[in-house]
């Protein structure tokens, strides 16, 4: 980052691990020897999983054109042969009888769910015609895209070529965005995915609302378990006794929404008691004096009544961190859009990491090693002329231009400002489940002339589409290679189809190329086959493509620590002054607090609980509940209530209830799990259940949807993220429900 905010916008997600994001010094390739096996048998295909976005290496065993089973790929550099229950259940997605089978055009009213089957030619001709019409009448910027996943990468290129600057994915404004912004403001670069937390070397892990063990990513959970086995200590800050909290040396059941107060108190103790890494801060950071003055008043005694964590406990945990420094892995979290002050909370976490000297050091947060991939020849995408509609860079000055602000696009579609949005292309994401305030999303859809959904399953949003395009599953398609700069040894992993696409489904790259041809944009896709595409990308790296395909991945030497860096790697901290920004001039310039500050949160009204939510190890978001194998493991969610609070309301463990939020919106029925393992002011449920699409025969009507109940959000003014833990619910039983 050269120091301008424009550079910041581009760089804040620049280590996200996609090909478009990778820049920087090239490395000599280093093909790992096949550690566990020789050449693959003919019927086995090396690929990577997409049951969630960790993309573990897999081996798909195929017989008579059908994938029989999926196993872990022992040669994969990150996951070393491990996959989770969802990864094992990949065949349950590919062979789900409810899959979308052919292209469909809407025939009834929007939302009625009436469609007719059409051919791919008809579907693509229809789409190309409508896109041309909208462009002619309203300009290319009036088509917005909601992409997700690597398959959408081809379509993203197409939309840029078409001329639209409007693309946004929930991975930013509903998930990881705040942490990318908070860490980029502090260290000059975001974190990327997988997040580079050095669990292998750490002495102390700190989790703040991060549910490792429930949120399963194979390599991370293995490293986490390995660290604990090695004797690493664990601090867990969570209003709920999560799986991780149950293993913690210190569980801090914090009052929700007050994490910044705790972090400020930790900063206070580290500075006032001299527990910080003096040499590291002197060498690498600027603004220490200002930070020290800022946190002086935020003592543990100040934080105690706010957080409801005893001051002595706050001190004790700060001392534990100081003793373990720099090998302290303060995990930055993943889904972190909670209270609307999330970027500042991430900043506070980054500041604790900085004071401990744990950024770029063993056992803390390690550094990415970028890989230079090849560029696909062809014209550069046109620079969009109009301003973006989602507010990235304007309303939300620190939002990522690469990932966009989904809710900003929804707002613009409703208001018609700064200009009308007439078309949506939804690719691989579920806008009704992943973006809160469903009513607003439906209001926006109502304004559209065109809504296209590209998906594998008939999730509820399909009902509102004008055109539905069935995509092949990840076991049936080639995708953009997975380029990971945030591993200690960076790597490229490939996904090639293990089986032919079922029914009339097609891979994303094929759909995109066919549409590009119809829009006269083929020049942006100057390759015919996936093999050609891959060759172009890895050309500068001198990679043996045959070996890459056989093993599934190729690694490069990494330089994960500050002491490893080479001059060609660029500045250690690509910030304004080349130092860690304990005090942020960018934030000051834009009228924000240059150092984090705690702002009080609203408490639940009497009789209500704060709704918090999380993951289950056997499901991914709202994507896997219709999978027969996973449905067999967990077919509904429960609402966790504190046992005493439940008793006080006359509720019993296992009782079926309905939840109603403070705006009167009700959930589907859900069972109570009464437990001492949650604070009395909170209600918790696993996200993803309560599907309303009758075409999902297994998932329909099972459990309750937290998304249904999220009618309120608190927007992060820095980057547009939707804080979602600001909804309150009460529990209705019997006659109260009717
Ligand atoms: S963690 Fe599980 S679901 Fe996610 S990519 Fe790995 S195997 Fe697949």
Q: Whose CA is nearest to atom 4 of ligand 1?
A: 52
48, 50, 52, best to mutate for ligand 1 pocket (most atoms within 8 Å of CB): 52
- Quick one: residue 372, left, alpha or beta (phi over 0 = left, psi -120 to 50 = alpha)? beta
Q: Ligand 1 pocket: which of 17, 47, 48, 49 to mutate (most atoms <8 Å of CB)?
A: 49
Q: State the pLDDT at residue 661.
A: 98
**Under a CB-based contact definition with an 8 Å cutoff, are residues 452 and 168 in contact?**
no
> Among 554, 561, 372, 403, which residue's Cα sits nearest to residue 16?
403
Q: What letters, b where the CB count within 10 A reaches 16 and e where it falls short, cover 137-172?
A: ebbbbbbbbbbbbbbbbbbbbbbbbbbbbbbbbbbb
Nearest Cα residue to atom 8 of ligand 1: 87
Phi, psi angle pair for 664, to nearest 5°: 85, 5
Q: Which atom of ligand 1 is found nearest the CA of 84?
A: 2
Between the CA of 16 and the centroid of ligand 1 the distance, in Å, is 18
How many CB atoms lie under 10 A from the CB of residue 229? Answer: 8
- Rounded Cα–Cα distance for residues 178 and 196 (Å): 16
Task: Strands of 456-608 (E only): list them.
Answer: 467-470, 482-484, 491-493, 553-555, 580-581
- For residue 486, the Cα-to-chain-centroid distance in whole angstroms is 15
Return phi, psi of residue 487, to 5°: -115, 160
The residue ranges of the chain whose pLDDT is under 50 are: 1-3, 13-37
Q: Round to whole Å and give the CA distance between 392 and 38.
A: 49
Instruction: Compute the distance from residue 482 Cα to the ligand 1 centre, in Å.
Output: 14
Ligand 1 center to 243 CA (angstroms):
19
| The residue to which tokens 């290496």 are assigned | 57
| Burial degree of 23 (CB within 10 A; 0-12, 13-18, 19+) | middle
Q: Which residues line ligand 1 (CB under 6 A)?
A: 49, 51-52, 54-56, 83-84, 86-87, 216-218, 620
- pLDDT value of residue 20: 27
* CA pair distance 665, 659, nearest whole angstrom: 8
Ligand 1 pocket check: which of 54, 617, 621 to mutate, most ligand atoms within 8 Å of Cβ?
A: 54
At 262 the pLDDT is 99
pLDDT at 150: 81
Cα(372) to centroid(ligand 1), Å: 26
Query: Atom 6, ligand 1: which residue's CA is nearest?
Result: 56
* Closest ligand 1 atom to Cα of 218: 1
359: DSSP letter: B
The SS3 of residue 683 is strand
CA 148, 154, 155, 157 torsion-angle sign: positive
Q: What distance in angstroms lies between residue 603's CA and the mean position of ligand 1's atoms? A: 36
Quote the ligand 1 centre to 617 CA distance (angstroms).
10
Give the angle 416-420-422 at the CA atoms, nearest 5°: 125
Distance from C-alpha of 194 to C-alpha of 206, rounded to nearest angstrom: 17
Q: Model pTM?
A: 0.95
Alpha carbon distance 84, 712 (integer Å): 34
How many other CB atoms are found less than 10 A from the CB of residue 540? 13
Ligand 1 center to 49 CA (angstroms): 6
Q: Are 26 and 540 contacting, i.e. CB atoms less than 8 angstroms apart?
A: yes
User: Ligand 1: which atom is nearest the Cα of residue 58?
Assistant: 7
pLDDT value, residue 21 = 28
pLDDT at 8: 59
Cα(55) to ligand 1 centroid in Å equals 6
| Helix intervals (H) in 116-217 | 120-138, 152-162, 170-171, 177-187
Ligand 1 center to 78 CA (angstroms) = 12
Determine the atom of ligand 1 nearest the C-alpha atom of 217.
Answer: 1
Candidate from 85, 218, 219, 473 with most ligand 1 atoms within 8 A of CB, to mutate: 218
Each residue's pLDDT tens digit, 539-580: 988 888 988 999 999 999 999 999 999 988 889 999 999 999
72 CA closest ligand 1 atom index: 7
E strand residue ranges, 203-291: 204-208, 233-237, 250-252, 285-286
- The C-alpha atoms of residue 424 and residue 701 are separated, in whole angstroms, by 27
Angle of the 406-415 helix axis to the 438-446 helix axis, nearest 10: 50
Measured in Å, how far apart are the chain's first and last C-alpha atoms? Answer: 58
How far is Cα 60 from Cα 72, in angstroms, rounded to an integer?
A: 9
Q: How far is Cα 373 from Cα 619, in angstroms, rounded to an integer? A: 33
């Amino acid at each position: 980052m050269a120091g301008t905010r424009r550079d910041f916008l581009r760089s804040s997600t620049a280590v996200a691990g996609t090909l478009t994001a990778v820049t920087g010094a090239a490395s000599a390739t280093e093909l790992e020897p096949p550690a566990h096996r020789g050449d693959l048998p003919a019927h086995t295909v090396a690929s990577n999983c997409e049951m969630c976005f960790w993309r573990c290496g897999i081996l798909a065993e195929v017989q008579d054109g059908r994938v029989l089973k999926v196993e872990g790929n022992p040669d994969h550099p990150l996951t070393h042969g491990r996959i989770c229950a969802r990864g094992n259940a990949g065949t349950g997605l590919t062979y789900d009888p409810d899959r979308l089978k052919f292209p469909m055009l809407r025939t009834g009213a929007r939302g009625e769910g009436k469609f007719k089957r059409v051919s791919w030619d008809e579907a693509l001709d229809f789409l190309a015609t409508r896109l041309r019409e909208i462009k002619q009448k309203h300009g290319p910027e009036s088509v917005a895209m909601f992409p997700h996943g690597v398959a959408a990468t081809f379509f993203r290129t197409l939309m840029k070529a078409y001329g639209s600057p409007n693309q946004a994915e929930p991975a930013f404004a509903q998930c990881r965005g705040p942490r990318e912004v908070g860490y980029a403001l502090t260290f000059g670069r975001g974190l990327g995915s997988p997040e580079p937390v050095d669990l292998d070397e750490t002495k102390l892990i700190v989790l703040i609302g991060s549910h490792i063990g429930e949120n399963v990513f194979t390599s991370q959970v293995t490293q986490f378990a390995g660290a604990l086995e090695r004797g690493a200590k664990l601090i867990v800050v969570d209003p709920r006794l999560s799986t991780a909290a149950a293993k913690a040396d210190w569980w801090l059941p914090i009052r929700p929404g007050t994490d910044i107060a705790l972090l400020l108190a930790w900063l206070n103790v580290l500075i006032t008691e001299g527990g910080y890494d003096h040499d590291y801060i002197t060498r690498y950071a600027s603004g220490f004096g200002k930070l020290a003055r800022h946190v002086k008043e935020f003592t543990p005694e100040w934080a105690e009544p706010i957080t409801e964590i005893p001051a002595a406990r706050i001190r004790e945990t700060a001392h534990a961190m100081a003793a373990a420094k720099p090998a302290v892995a303060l995990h930055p979290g993943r889904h972190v859009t909670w209270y609307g002050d999330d970027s500042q909370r991430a900043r506070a976490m980054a500041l604790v990491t900085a004071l401990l000297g744990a950024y770029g050091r063993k056992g803390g947060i390690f550094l990415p090693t970028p890989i230079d991939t090849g560029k696909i020849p062809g014209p550069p995408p046109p620079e969009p002329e109009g301003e973006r509609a989602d507010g990235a860079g304007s309303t939300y000055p620190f939002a990522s231009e690469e990932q966009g602000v989904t809710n900003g696009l929804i707002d613009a579609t409703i208001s018609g400002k700064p200009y009308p949005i007439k078309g949506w292309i939804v690719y691989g994401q579920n806008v009704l489940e992943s973006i809160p305030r469903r009513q607003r999303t439906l209001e926006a859809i109502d304004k559209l002339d065109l809504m296209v959904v590209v998906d594998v399953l008939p999730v509820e949003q399909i009902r509102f589409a004008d055109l539905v395009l069935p995509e092949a599953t990840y076991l049936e398609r080639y995708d953009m290679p997975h380029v990971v700069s945030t591993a200690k040894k960076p790597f490229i992993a490939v996904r090639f189809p293990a089986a032919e696409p079922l029914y009339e489904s097609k891979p994303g790259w094929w759909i995109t190329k066919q549409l590009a041809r119809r829009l006269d944009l083929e020049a942006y896709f100057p390759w015919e086959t996936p093999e050609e595409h891959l060759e172009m990308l890895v050309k500068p790296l001198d990679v043996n493509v045959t070996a890459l395909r056989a093993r599934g991945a190729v690694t490069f030497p990494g330089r994960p620590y500050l002491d490893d860096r080479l001059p060609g790697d660029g500045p250690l901290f690509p910030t304004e002054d080349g130092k860690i920004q304990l005090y942020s001039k960018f934030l000051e310039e834009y009228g924000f607090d240059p150092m984090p500050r705690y702002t009080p949160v609203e408490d639940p009204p009497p009789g209500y609980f704060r709704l918090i939510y999380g993951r289950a190890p056997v499901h991914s978001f709202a994507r896997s509940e219709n999978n027969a194998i996973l449905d067999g493991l967990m077919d509904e969610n429960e609402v966790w209530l504190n046992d005493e609070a439940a008793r006080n309301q006359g509720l019993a463990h296992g009782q079926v209830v309905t939840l109603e939020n403070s705006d009167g919106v009700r959930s589907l029925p859900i069972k109570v799990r009464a437990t001492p393992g949650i604070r009395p002011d909170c209600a918790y449920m696993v996200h993803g259940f309560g599907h309303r699409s009758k075409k999902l025969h297994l998932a329909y009507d099972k459990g309750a949807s937290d998304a249904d109940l999220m009618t309120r959000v608190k927007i992060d003014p820095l980057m547009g993220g939707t804080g979602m833990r600001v909804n309150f619910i009460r529990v209705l039983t019997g006659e109260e429900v009717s």
